[in-house]
Every structure is written in C-alpha cells, then in structure tokens.
Structure 1
C-alpha cells in the first residue's frame, strides 16, 4: 500500500506547485513505465477502478490529493480577502493564472526533453518515436486535465468567457504546447519520413500503414479554432500534411508518367493511369483524411490524364479503326473525368461513323442499280447497330455520344451515293423494304422476328429527313397490299402504323388508318353487288358484260361519283390445259393485261405482234414488257428465236412448258411501270409540299361530280397551310421571321428549301392571302 501523500498548505504557492508537479511527474513516469493505456484513456474510469495494479493505485491516490490541493489553493484566504466583489474576483484570477502558467512551463520543459530524444531517430524510427510519445502525452493530458478540473471549471472558463486569448482548458493546453515546443521543430522530418514511406508503397513495397494513419490523426488533432478551443479545424493537417503530400504526389506521378509513356504504348499507359487512380482512391480509405479526396483526385487527374490528353486523343482514331472496344471504354473513363476531355473524341467519332456509313452504302451502290431495298436498309442498320453497341458499351450510353451517332447517321442516311441524284431515295427504298416485310411470303416467319424487323425499320426512319416521301410511298404500297389481300397479317400492319403514329403523330397516319375502313366498305360493296347479281342475272348472264353491269349498279347507289378502273392492279388465274406431259394442269397467276394476251391463244396457236396489239388495244409501252415476261418464262415462244417484241415478231404457245411449281406467278411488276409509278409519286409529293406550304387554310371544296376518293381524303386529312397558319395567328411579322417559323413547322415532314418558301410566299400574295407592308413586313388579309 502506498504511503498517503501530505497535501501542502493552501496559501503557499511554491509548496502547492511542488506538490502538484510531483503528481504530474508521477503520472508521466508511471505511464512511461508501462501502465496499460486502455485503463488511463478515461481518467474518470481510472479513478473508479480498484483492481488495476500498484501503478494505478498510486495514480488513484495521487489524483484524490491532487484535486484537493488544486481546490484548496484556488479557494485560499489569498483569494477570499476581507474586501468583497471585484477584489475577491481578481485575487482568484491571480491564483488560477499562476497555476496555469506554471503548468505551461512544466509542459515546455518536458517537451524539450522529448525533442532532444527525437534527434537521435530518423525515418521510420522517428515515426515510431513520434507516435509513441504522442500517445503517451495525449493520454497523460486527459488524466491531468481531470486533475485540474476545478481550475478548468472556474478560472479557465471565466477567462475564456471574458474573451481572454491564449487561454485553454488543460487538455487543449497540452496540445498547444506540443505544437509550439515539439511539433514545430520536427514536422518537416516527420513528413519526409511519411512521404518516403508512401513512395515505397507506390513502388510496390509493403509498409506499416498504421504509422501514417497515426501521424494523420495527430496532425488533425492539433488543429484548433482560435475563437473556440474545443472546436477542431483542419488547418494544421492541411498546412503541414496535405500540402507537402499533394506536392510529392504530383512530382512522383509527373516523373513516372513521363518515363512510362516514353517506354510503353498508349494503351498500356491508360491501364497504368487507371490503376494508379484506383490506388490513390483506396489510399484515402486506408490512412488519409477524407478531406484530401477531392484535391488528390484533381491532382492525379491533372498529371496522369490532362497532361497526356492529346496523346490519348491521338490514339482514339486507331482504336476506332481496330474496334478495340475495351480500350475505347478505358479511354472514355479517363477523359470523361477531366474538363472538356471528351469533346474532340465526339467529333472524331461522328466523322468516323459517317465515313463508315458512306462506305457501306458505296458497297451496295457498286453492285449496280438493281440492288434490293433490303440490301440497302441492312447496310444502314448494320452500321448503326455496330456503333450503337459501341456507344452503349464503351461510352456508357452518354447522351453527347448518342447525339454524335445520330448526327452521323442522319448524314449518311440522307446524303450518300445512292441519294446523290435525289435526296428522297432513302425513304423510297425504306418504304419498299417495309412493303416486302409486310407482304405474304416474308422471310420473317415468326411474329416476334417480324416485330423486331419493324422496330429496326423505325431506327432508320427516325433519321430520314423526307418523311413525307416515305408516307406517300408507304400509303401506295399499303393500298396494294390491302386490295390484293397480300398483307402478312392485320396485326403486323397495325403495329407498323402504331410505330409511325408514335414517331410522327396522328396526322401522319390518319390516311393510313382510314384505308382499313375503305377496305371494309369495299367488302360490303362487293357483297352487295354479288347479291344483286344473284337476284338479277342467271349463271350465263353473270359471266358477260361484268364491268358495264358493275358501273350500272355502282352509279345506281352513288349518284354523281366518278368510277376509275385501275387495270394495272387487277389480277387473276388461268389454267393451262394445253401443255403436254403435265400430270396436273399448270395455273398461271397473271395480271389483267397478261390474261388478255393469253386468252387470245384459245383461238389460235400462233399470233403476230400487230394482231395481239390490235386485239388488246394496248400500247407498246404496256404490251412489250408484258410479252417479254411471258417470253422469259417460256410460256410463249418468239419467232425468230430470241427476238424481242416488235411488229416483226410472231408468238406461239409453248406446248412443252415446264416448271417446278404447279402454280406459276407471272404477275411481276414491270420495271417501266415501277419507274413510271415512282415518277408519278414524286410529282405528287412535290405538289403536296407546295400545298403544305401554301393555301390550305380554307381549301376549296372539290367538285362533287368529279371528286375521286383520293381527292376527298387529301382535303380531309391535309395540314393547314404552314404560311397561312403562322400569319393567321401573328397578323403581322417580318419576312425573315415568317420563313424561320415555317421551317420549324414543316421540318418534321421534310427539310424545306428557303427559295421554295419564298416562292410560296409570293404565290400567296398573288392570291391575296397576305400582303407586303413597308419595312419588309408581311400582313395577313382576313
């Protein structure tokens, strides 16, 4: 059992301090002799523990008499004089100040000894010494702070409340003294040792990371707010640790990256840079303070990426050419982290995709003019799919790269070798390809496969500028499919129209949807006519004068309408009973014109060109191509052999006709008919565009005596004139503004040309829809 210490006389300062100094020495000495730190980390817990060993018992006894001595001295007669009020208050101040001053001097002497000992250590040994002394010192500071708790609660608190500077609670005083009397002398050597340790780790060596963590924590603990000593700041950490650490990091990676780039490929450098960035991110979590994260990341990016960004960008085209998706993704990740790092890449990517698209179209065009629309559309889709996948996988689907892809696709879809003669070629070919998919016999047998193909069609469709051209061709082809009942399915037709409606709105597909209603009306009309025939004519009579009888029936139900026969769209089947050695008679699927030619051979086996022409009343532009088809199929034979249809040619039935199929399709659209139909469609488009730009604000009603279904639909579904619509709402506006607004309205249907808009403005002025005022201003005429 330790001897009970004797407390000093409460009025004797030297005696009191001598007693207190001995107690402080005892705390410092016992901690240095090996008191378990966990027992003294909380001074209150230490005092309450009865079974921690002889060292702690001594400390416990010391604490009791120590705090008693501090209390007695601060409340002695010297402090409480006969005078009341201010004098008594001042006396207590003087006594507390003496103790506080003596404690500070003691700590300075102690730290001088610690500093002297530190001079014999260097590098990692210095770090170990610093950490050990810091731990002992701060643990003792907590205990001593408890011993001087009365001083803290009264004198220190009063001084701080009165605004006294450089006065702290006893624990904080320990930190201040550590910083002033020890830290200021050793921080440079300590940081040199820390930075050397970090460099070793960066070079691949294993280090004691906990040492750096302890140093960081001590630097953080030394940060004090001048206005509030209990509020920590990061000033010391940032000044003495973070600043030299960032400078060393920058220097290290400047040297490493410069040497690595000189000795390795760009791809290998990107791998190295990415690995280093990940290492530095992990380093923060291992032993650095989170406050350094942003500055460390910016420094590493500046040195590793920004400084070598031109080198990386120069490699981008090479990686694109070789489809190095993984390396492109790595470049994207690196350059996306620096300001404007990706801008040059987006421009390069856009040009690359555009060139790839043009090259794909060039390959299709090199096969000649007779390529299938599928070949063209597939070429466009393959380029888009390839680079859409690249954007998604390598560039993380980033919106600006998507924009670059869209810009490139829009260019090569609308302006390529095949579109060189006319920019409307792409929508026409796309419409034909769609028609092929939606016809019976499409190779996309599965419904899901067909739906996927229709979705791909919409991918190309969104890039087409002349959407009105697609609409016009599509509507004509849809009409044929409906008339010939050749659609693969109603669901597929509805799905495609729904996709177009979603892309362009109700107005765009209104006419297409009404076609289905027209087909139902046609079915009802045919059914009514069939009933009428059965009631009116016998079997033999029904086979004669069919056209005339239908006209009579139709005009009897619809007074004032015009009925137009579209012979080129009619078709039928004929049985060939004349062919020798045929197990079953062949059935020929033919157009009306072909049927007319073949039926002539019921009366004779051989006919001259002039006789056929006279009997059918067909002009050479129709007769010649149809005869050519029959010759090519070897249904007819020409004399002289190999002759083409002309007035000197004679035609005869081929009794030895052979074909692998029993049902033979001869109803093939003639190229001249296709070209004529395409030319007519384009003329209609041009007229529609004029009307769209011009005067459909109040369209004139069609003459009821001459109105065809097409005309009625045209006026029913037409847009209001773009120019008139704008002027009607604005009343007055400048010419330039009018042109710009019209472009905005019309561009969703087709890219308008400014000269065309100006021409139509002039046309509307001539028709008194609008008038020109002074100052290049235009006004609407009500």
Structure 2
C-alpha cells in the first residue's frame, strides 16, 4: 500500500518471543509506519493493543526473570534500561528516515503547492506523533522519565521527539522556502487578491510548536516562531510598505495618502486576528507605523499648516491619529498649532483695537473668546482633547490675551477691560438675562480670566465695580453675583475673594440694621415727630473691605436731610458704642419730585447725587440762584461743583445766565419751567468721564502700592522660613510665590529687597547671601 509516493510494508508476524529484539522491532516499525502513513485508515483496536503489548513486553523482558538473586537486581534493571534505550533509538532512526523521504517529496513543490504539501505533512506527522506518544507511554513513564530525571540531554517524551526530529531533519532545510511562499501569499492579499488564509495560520502554528525548551521539554518557547516567522515577516512588511508609500505619495496628495495609510494600518491589525499570533500585534504595528508614518512624518507635518489655514478638521483629526502612533510625532504639530492660534488671536484683536480708549469691553472680550472658542472646539474634536494640545492652546491664548495691540501702551489693559465687561454682564439691564444665559456669560468671563496674568488688576477693578453695583443697587441678581465670586474663589483661592464676600455680608448687615432702625424710630417717636423726616436707607460699609475713596471735597448737606441722618447717627452710636461713622456724601443719591413741572398730571422726578440734591433744593427759595451762592452754601470744590451743575444744564433742567455760560463765578442759574422729557423719571446722577479717568488712574496707583506690599511680604515670609539665602534664589522663589497674582518684574523685586534691607528686616552676608533679622 502506498501513501503520497511512500510505501507501507506488508504486516510482519507478531513476535512470540518477547526477548526477540529484532522481530519485536520489525513488528513495531510496521505499526508505527501504518500510523505515520496510513493515518486516514488508522489501525484497528486489536492491532493497536497487540502493538502496545509488544512494547510493554519488550521493555519488561529482563524483569520477567523472577528467580534472580537480590545482588543481581541492578543488572536486571540495567538490562531493561538497555532495552528501553534500544527501542528509543530505533524509533528515532525511523523518524529520521521517514522525514528524509518527506523532504524529498517536498522539494518537488513550490509556492502554494509547497505550502499545501508542508501543511498536510505537518498535520499528518504531528497527529501521528500524538498517537505514537500514547502507544509508547510505557516507555515514557519509565525509561524516558528515568533518563530525564538523571539529567540526560537529548532525551524527550515520544511526542516531543517527533517535534525535535521535524525541527532538525525538515525545518532547517525547508523553513526559508516555506516562509518565501507565505510572504508571497501575504503580498497577494495586500495587493487585493483573495487567498487561503488558513494556510498561513497553519504555518504559524507549526513554527510555534517547534519552540522546544532544551532545558525543559514540557515547556515551549516562541524563539523559533520569532526568529523564522516573525522576523522575516516584519522585514518583508517594512520593505513592502516603504516601497508602496513612496510611490503613492509621489503620485497623490498628502490627504489621500493619509487615508491610504489609515486603511493599511487597519488591514494589518485585522490580519493579526485572522492568522497571526497576538504577540505580533505590537511589533507589526510598529513596523507599519515606521514605514507608513515615521518615514514620511516631515511631509505630513508640512501639510498641517495648510489644513489649519483651511479649517480641514477631519483631515487634521486623521493626521493627529497617524502621528500620535510614532514617538514624539505630535510635538511639531503642537508647536505649529500654538503659533497659529497666537497669530489668529492677535489678528482678531487688531480689528477691534482701533477704538483706543473708547474700546468697548464687550467687543474686546468677544474678540478674545472668538479665537479661543474656535480652537478649543478643534482641540476637542480633531485632537481628542489631548492634554498637550490643550496646553498649546492655553499657551497661545495666554500670549494673545496679555500681549496684543490693545496692551501695547498699558500692559494691564486686558484685566481692566475684562472687569468692565463683567460689570456690564452683572448689571441690571432693560432686557432681562435668563439664568442659563447669565451662567454662560459668567463662564465666558472665567475662560478669559484663566489666561489673565495680572489677576490682581482684575481683582481691583472688579471689586470697585462690585462695590458700585451693591451701593447703587444695580446688580442683575444676588445669585449671579455670588456665582461669580464662587467661580473666582475656585480659580484663585479664598484670599482672592475674601473682601468681595465681606462686601456681601455688609449689605446683609445693612438690611438688618435698617429694619432695626425702623422699629427703634417707631418705638421712640410719634407720627408728628417723624413727619419732617425723609425716606432713607443706610448702608454701613466696613472700612477695610470696600474699595471706596474718601470724599475729596468739603460738603455741607442740605438742611432738609440733616434731621433724618442725625437721628440715624444717634441710633447707631447707641447700638455700637466706639464705632465712627464717616458719611460718604459723594456716593449718596436720592430722588427729588419737581412739583413745578409735570408730564400731564404727574410731576417729574429727578434722580440726583446728594451734591446735586443740595444744589437743587436751593431753588425752593428762588427760581434763580447765583453760582457763588451755591458754592458758599454747599462748600463743594470747583472740580465737583462745576460738573454737577453742568449735567443739569445739559439736561436743560436749569438755564444759565448769561445764556450759554459755563458754571463759574458770576454766572446765575434759573429753573427751566418749560422742561420736557420722554420719561417721568429723569436720571441726572451721571458719572463724568473725567471722574472715570481719574478713578481708573487712582486704581492703578493702588495696584502698584499693593504689589510692593505683596512682594515685600512674600520676601519676608521666604526669608523667615529659610533664614539665609542667595540673592538670585530669593528673587526666583519670590516670582514663584506671587506669579499667580501678577507677573513681577525682577527690578521691582530687587527694589523691595533694598527697602527691607533699609528697614532692617534683612541683612547682607558674604557671598551674595541675605540673612533674616528677627
């Protein structure tokens, strides 16, 4: 009978004498050959049992002699040992001869035919090896185990022996041809042809099976697979994709190439599940990424600017995913992205910068946000919100927020304008702002605030505008105010918002105090005694927490309000002995009903400052009042008096004599009985631009003073803990401690150190060191 060109010998007789080594082996060899070559038909149970029995008898032939004396036991075992060894080596020689004939057949084939033959023979051979391992298990359990236990080399269980023989007699001389056939098959698939993938999977499994651990045959390694399959496979992969990518890029656009590279990477990933070991995934992907991405990274990066300029979001996302696969692949993209965002920010701000001092805070903040919103969305969608791209965006925004055309002459312009914008957002307006919209607007303020370097400037201007909103009752809502303070606290800490929160506490305390005053007044004075009082509310503001300037001019309040405020003063002094009230008349305001002119039947009401109130009440006694009389009665200085009258002249509440004259000595003013206005309530309490400018200048002065104190306190705090320090180190640590509030200049820090040396908080030591003086 023949199988694949190899002949199966006719069955020899079963040995009757178990000591007949030659006859026994001839019978066994016939059985093994049946298993090796005629596996499809196999052997029947009777034949299998006769083969198994022959092996058992053969291995125990010497042990059958039971009358051996005790001192001959060793020679008995040695005899059995020699028989087991003979059987093992005869089987080993048979496998060599068998594989020689298989090899002779294999070399007649090539390409897929060679693979088909190799896989068929491998499966037949290893299945037969499993049968033989079972057939020779008595040999495995006794002779093989004893040899292995004694540390003998090159002895294996019968199945492993089959693998060793294949590895030495077949694999060494065929693996190159097999791998060449595999690689040609894979190349066909990469070129779009359909292949029989199971063939490659079978080859992979055969290479893995041949990873025999020489020190422990029970264990296997991937050494053979890695050296003879994985290594050439990766080399061929690199060669294929290097050539393909170069040709494709020469003939197509970068964007088309990126799509192609994406597809190729996905295909290779899918192949791992189809016929590879999972272990190849990492090395295979790295090989593909090197050939498809790393070698062409400069070309891809050059295209990035074009994609940015044209808002090609999908293609940027594709480029990001590709370059993210290689080490440091994204660094140049982040650098270009940062520069691009910075340029975009500066260009956008240039468009609104032409307004100069008249620049609308909202227009400025909207310009800042426009660029940030656009590129924050891009980072999230195209760059998966990756932290390093977020950092690049933050760096760019910090640059264009703090160093742009608007900030050229005044480096603190950004925080000042942001504070003014926040003031406009939080002020009560004619069109009501929905709660969700308000929260959105406040979040936008905080977005810009995050990038502001001079946070102390924002704090100063914000606290001033907050104070005005609270004093004048112009806040859109207390909830919005507290929400904003909470956001600032989260961003910059408790100390940053401490005074802002105390201002709110004072407002609540003032409400409670007004209620207590009303009760006290009702309990202590009858209606007759209260009829001369005017309706008034009082705000008690803590000196240390409110950024309010003391009056800059003398002022005598009008007699009409003296009784009212004096009575409150008495109440307060009785309730809080030892406290002193300082009246801030320049911040007070009220309403006057103009009974001499009406809109229909309703008298006009003038909303006025207390200074304007004092002026207007003088017209109760006469329709015309001289400038000099007003100045004498109110004691207001010219800088305050003239604008106050000027507003009333502009509104045509008063007329000047001589006509068109400005407020000055010698001029007189007359009530305009022909006054007309489209509203019943007329607001005359308008801040003058010169006052606004002076206030801003004053705020900047206080900022400078506060910065000096902050730097000095930081220096003292550092030196108190360190005792001694090098001058340069002290400067560096001071910058670190206060950079969250503003960006200090080194010359300013050095001046503060000199001041502290003069005040003897510090002393100079040798080697440019400074010491702390307790």
Distance in 2 between the 1:134 and 1:303 partners?
A: 34
Distance in 2 between the 1:527 and 1:175 partners?
A: 100
CA drift of 1:526 comes to 4.8
Question: In the alignment, which of 435, 450, 459 is matched to residue 447 of structure 1?
Answer: 435
Question: In the alignment, which of 586, 608, 623 is matched to residue 568 of structure 1?
Answer: 586
Query: Which residue pairs with 1:663 in the alignment?
Result: 681
CA gap of 1:230–1:485, structure 2 versus 1, over 3 A, is same
CA gap of 1:562–1:127, structure 2 versus 1, over 3 A, is same
**Does the 8 A contact of 1:79 with 1:92 survive in 2?**
no
CA gap of 1:724–1:657, structure 2 versus 1, over 3 A, is same
CA drift of 1:628 comes to 5.4
CA gap of 1:267–1:647, structure 2 versus 1, over 3 A, is farther
**Does the 8 A contact of 1:468 with 1:685 survive in 2?**
yes
Distance in 2 between the 1:681 and 1:545 partners?
A: 34
| 1:61 aligned onto 2:49 | no
**Does the 8 A contact of 1:111 with 1:181 survive in 2?**
yes
CA drift of 1:248 comes to 0.7
Distance in 2 between the 1:444 and 1:281 partners?
A: 57
**Does the 8 A contact of 2:84 with 2:139 survive in 1?**
yes
**Does the 8 A contact of 1:414 with 1:464 survive in 2?**
yes
CA gap of 1:442–1:267, structure 2 versus 1, over 3 A, is farther
CA drift of 1:256 comes to 0.8
Question: In the alignment, which of 694, 701, 709 is matched to residue 691 of structure 1?
Answer: 709
Distance in 1 between the 2:200 and 2:430 partners?
A: 72
Question: In the alignment, which of 529, 548, 565 is matched to residue 538 of structure 1?
Answer: 529
Query: Which residue pairs with 2:55 in the alignment?
Result: 70
| 1:277 aligned onto 2:269 | no
Q: Residues 724-757 of structure 1: CA distance to partner in whole angstroms, max 9, x if unpaired? A: 2223333333322322232222222222222222
Distance in 2 between the 1:16 and 1:425 partners?
A: 106
Question: In the alignment, which of 198, 202, 213 is matched to residue 201 of structure 2?
Answer: 213
What SS does structure 2 have at the residue aligned with 1:462? helix
Distance in 1 between the 2:163 and 2:101 partners?
A: 16
CA gap of 1:199–1:665, structure 2 versus 1, over 3 A, is farther
What SS does structure 1 have at the residue aligned with 2:92? helix
Q: Residues 302-348 of structure 1: CA distance to partner in whole angstroms, max 9, x if unpaired? A: 11111111111112222222222222222221112211111122222
Q: Residues 21-56 of structure 1: CA distance to partner in whole angstroms, max 9, x if unpaired? A: 22123223432xxx3xxxxxxxxxxxxxxxxxxx45
The range that moved more, 721-730 or 667-676, is: 721-730
CA drift of 1:678 comes to 0.8
**Does the 8 A contact of 1:364 with 1:375 survive in 2?**
yes
RMSD: 3.2
Question: In the alignment, which of 569, 588, 594 is matched to residue 554 of structure 1?
Answer: 569
The range that moved more, 283-292 or 652-661, is: 652-661
**Does the 8 A contact of 1:27 with 1:59 survive in 2?**
no
The count of corresponding residues between Structure 1 and Structure 2 is: 732
CA drift of 1:122 comes to 2.2
Query: Which residue pairs with 1:698 in the alignment?
Result: none
CA drift of 1:444 comes to 5.9
Distance in 1 between the 2:304 and 2:292 partners?
A: 17
Query: Which residue pairs with 1:715 in the alignment?
Result: none
Question: In the alignment, which of 6, 18, 21 is matched to residue 10 of structure 1?
Answer: 18
Distance in 2 between the 1:323 and 1:156 partners?
A: 73
Q: Residues 496-543 of structure 1: CA distance to partner in whole angstroms, max 9, x if unpaired? A: 222222222222222122222323444455556665597398356436
Query: Which residue pairs with 2:741 in the alignment?
Result: 749
Structure 2: segments with no counterpart, 5+ residues: 1-9, 535-558
The range that moved more, 556-565 or 153-162, is: 556-565
The range that moved more, 605-614 or 432-441, is: 605-614
**Does the 8 A contact of 1:79 with 1:95 survive in 2?**
no
| 1:131 aligned onto 2:116 | no
Distance in 2 between the 1:348 and 1:646 partners?
A: 63
Distance in 2 between the 1:547 and 1:681 partners?
A: 32
CA gap of 1:77–1:539, structure 2 versus 1, over 3 A, is closer
| 1:226 aligned onto 2:245 | no
Q: Residues 362-407 of structure 1: CA distance to partner in whole angstroms, max 9, x if unpaired? A: 2221234312212222222222222222222222222222222222
Distance in 1 between the 2:278 and 2:430 partners?
A: 63
| 1:509 aligned onto 2:494 | no
What SS does structure 2 have at the residue aligned with 1:168? coil
What SS does structure 1 have at the residue aligned with 2:525? helix
Q: Residues 130-169 of structure 1: CA distance to partner in whole angstroms, max 9, x if unpaired? A: 2222111211221122222222222222222222222222
Query: Which residue pairs with 2:5 in the alignment?
Result: none
Equivalences for residues 592-611 of structure 1 within 5 A:
592-595=610-613
Structure 1: segments with no counterpart, 5+ residues: 36-54, 695-720
Question: In the alignment, which of 427, 437, 455 is matched to residue 425 of structure 2?
Answer: 437
CA gap of 1:126–1:609, structure 2 versus 1, over 3 A, is farther
Question: In the alignment, which of 671, 690, 699 is matched to residue 681 of structure 1?
Answer: 699
Question: In the alignment, which of 381, 385, 400 is matched to residue 373 of structure 2?
Answer: 385
| 1:766 aligned onto 2:758 | yes
The range that moved more, 672-681 or 483-492, is: 483-492
The range that moved more, 347-356 or 728-737, is: 728-737
CA drift of 1:569 comes to 2.2
**Does the 8 A contact of 1:771 with 1:779 survive in 2?**
yes
What SS does structure 1 have at the residue aligned with 2:61? coil
Query: Which residue pairs with 1:84 in the alignment?
Result: 72
CA drift of 1:594 comes to 4.3
Q: Residues 47-79 of structure 1: CA distance to partner in whole angstroms, max 9, x if unpaired? A: xxxxxxxx45x4322211111111222222499
CA gap of 1:611–1:272, structure 2 versus 1, over 3 A, is farther
| 1:417 aligned onto 2:405 | yes
CA drift of 1:179 comes to 2.3
Equivalences for residues 142-161 of structure 1 within 5 A:
142-161=130-149
What SS does structure 2 have at the residue aligned with 1:228? coil
Query: Which residue pairs with 2:722 in the alignment?
Result: 730
Distance in 2 between the 1:637 and 1:178 partners?
A: 119
CA drift of 1:635 comes to 5.0
Query: Which residue pairs with 2:767 in the alignment?
Result: 775
**Does the 8 A contact of 2:599 with 2:680 survive in 1?**
no
Distance in 2 between the 1:264 and 1:373 partners?
A: 49
CA drift of 1:634 comes to 5.5
Query: Which residue pairs with 2:475 in the alignment?
Result: 487
**TM-score w.r.t. length of structure 2:** 0.86
The range that moved more, 268-277 or 737-746, is: 737-746
The range that moved more, 566-575 or 130-139, is: 566-575
Distance in 2 between the 1:590 and 1:549 partners?
A: 18
**Does the 8 A contact of 2:62 with 2:77 survive in 1?**
no
**Does the 8 A contact of 2:598 with 2:604 survive in 1?**
no
CA drift of 1:419 comes to 1.7
What SS does structure 1 have at the residue aligned with 2:451? coil
**Does the 8 A contact of 1:79 with 1:89 survive in 2?**
no
CA drift of 1:283 comes to 0.9
Distance in 2 between the 1:271 and 1:529 partners?
A: 78
CA gap of 1:71–1:525, structure 2 versus 1, over 3 A, is closer
**Does the 8 A contact of 1:580 with 1:655 survive in 2?**
no
The range that moved more, 276-285 or 482-491, is: 482-491
What SS does structure 2 have at the residue aligned with 1:587? strand
Question: In the alignment, which of 252, 257, 269 is matched to residue 264 of structure 1?
Answer: 252
The range that moved more, 341-350 or 723-732, is: 723-732
What SS does structure 2 have at the residue aligned with 1:771? strand
Distance in 2 between the 1:198 and 1:346 partners?
A: 37
CA drift of 1:212 comes to 0.9
| 1:395 aligned onto 2:379 | no
The range that moved more, 598-607 or 457-466, is: 598-607
CA gap of 1:550–1:584, structure 2 versus 1, over 3 A, is closer
Query: Which residue pairs with 1:27 in the alignment?
Result: 35
**Does the 8 A contact of 2:211 with 2:221 survive in 1?**
yes
